Amino acid sequence: MRIVSHLVLVCFFISSVSCHTTQATAMKKKKKYRENVQKHRKKYTPETAESQVNDTIQIIEPNFDQTAEVDSLLDKLSSEYKRYTKSRGYRILIYSGPSEIEAIKAEEALREIEVNIYGDTTSVFQDIPMIKTYQAPNFKVLVGNYIDKLLAHQMLLQIKDEFPNALLIHVNDVTLDNID
């Protein structure tokens, strides 16, 4: 029994000593590494800095005219762009539903809308292109060809009075021939 009590005391002593050493090492503050690199930096004075700048600047005068070459390249580029007839843009969806008769009525109703602009009542939507498509099971009536979202949104606000469910739709096939 005496041996057991001595053994317990020895274990207790060893554990208390080991706890104190871990706490002591945790309490030590780590020193930050610092080094003075001031002696390695170059010393600049305003005179040396100005002389270095003057040595690197070169003034280059143009000695030829490239206007004709640039114009020919621009003409070639514009002729290449004329090949493109479609672009990404916006259209206004005024009807989407299963009835073809309702789609035709929506087209006719849009053509009859008259807008008061500066005191004159005119039919703005008479010349705007309309596209009626069928994607099973719905007919859709799309209005306009707009590349600019702001113009499309302005037209949408005018259409919303007659068609409150009208939506602005982003499409990939806006025809560039008759852009609004």
pTM of the model: 0.51
The residue type found at 87 is: S
86-175: CATH topology is Alpha-Beta Plaits (3.30.70)
CB 106 within 8 A of CB 163: yes
pLDDT at 155 (0 to 100):
87
Segments making up each domain of the chain, as ranges: 86-175
Q: What is the mean pLDDT for each group of 10 consecutive residues in the chain (180 residues)?
A: 65 62 58 81 69 66 82 88 80 91 87 63 71 88 89 88 89 70
How far is Cα 148 from Cα 180, in angstroms, rounded to an integer? 9
List the strands of the sheet with 86-97, edge to edge. Answer: 130-135, 138-146, 86-97, 167-175
CB 116 within 8 A of CB 132: no
